């Protein structure tokens, strides 16, 4: 769901995709709350509906809010600064990890 979400960012725009995702997740959360309170614990069909709604919630998150966080994070800094930060992090991690004897 993440890859189609990244495609949708360019086609629909960040704001619209965030609003669609928020609306879908909101509806799923409300339905889970309402159904979860009203059904009994022995109602198998109701339990399956709750599982389906949680899966739909995860799909909304994975296709909207999840990829947008990665895209925005990648766009905050220019590429040359990202490369410098990555190299610095790699250098520090390489020298901070314990060395294997041998």
User: Rounded to an integer, what distance in angstroms lies between the CA atom of residue 95 and that of residue 101?
Assistant: 15
Domain residue ranges in the chain = 2-96
User: Rounded to an integer, what distance in angstroms lies between the CA atom of residue 8 and that of residue 76?
Assistant: 20
Comparing 43-47, 50-54, 74-78, 86-90, the range with the smallest average pLDDT is 74-78
Comparing 24-33, 41-50, 61-70, 89-98, the range with the smallest average pLDDT is 89-98
- Kindly report the three-state secondary structure assignment for every residue of the chain: CHHHHHHHHHHHCHHHHHHHHHHHHHHHHHHHHHHHHHCCCCCHHHHHHHHHHHHHHHHHHHHCHHHHHHHHHHHHCCHHHHHHHHHHHHHHHHHHCCCCCC
């Amino acid at each position: 769901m993440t890859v189609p979400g990244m495609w949708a960012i360019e086609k629909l725009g960040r704001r619209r995709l965030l609003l669609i995702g928020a609306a879908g997740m909101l509806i799923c959360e409300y339905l889970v709350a309402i159904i979860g309170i009203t059904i009994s614990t022995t109602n198998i069909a109701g339990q399956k509906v709750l599982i389906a709604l949680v899966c739909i919630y995860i799909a909304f998150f994975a296709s909207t809010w999840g990829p947008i966080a990665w895209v925005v994070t990648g766009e905050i800094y220019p590429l040359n600064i990202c490369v410098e930060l990555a190299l610095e992090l790699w250098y520090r991690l390489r020298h901070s990890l314990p060395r294997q004897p041998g």
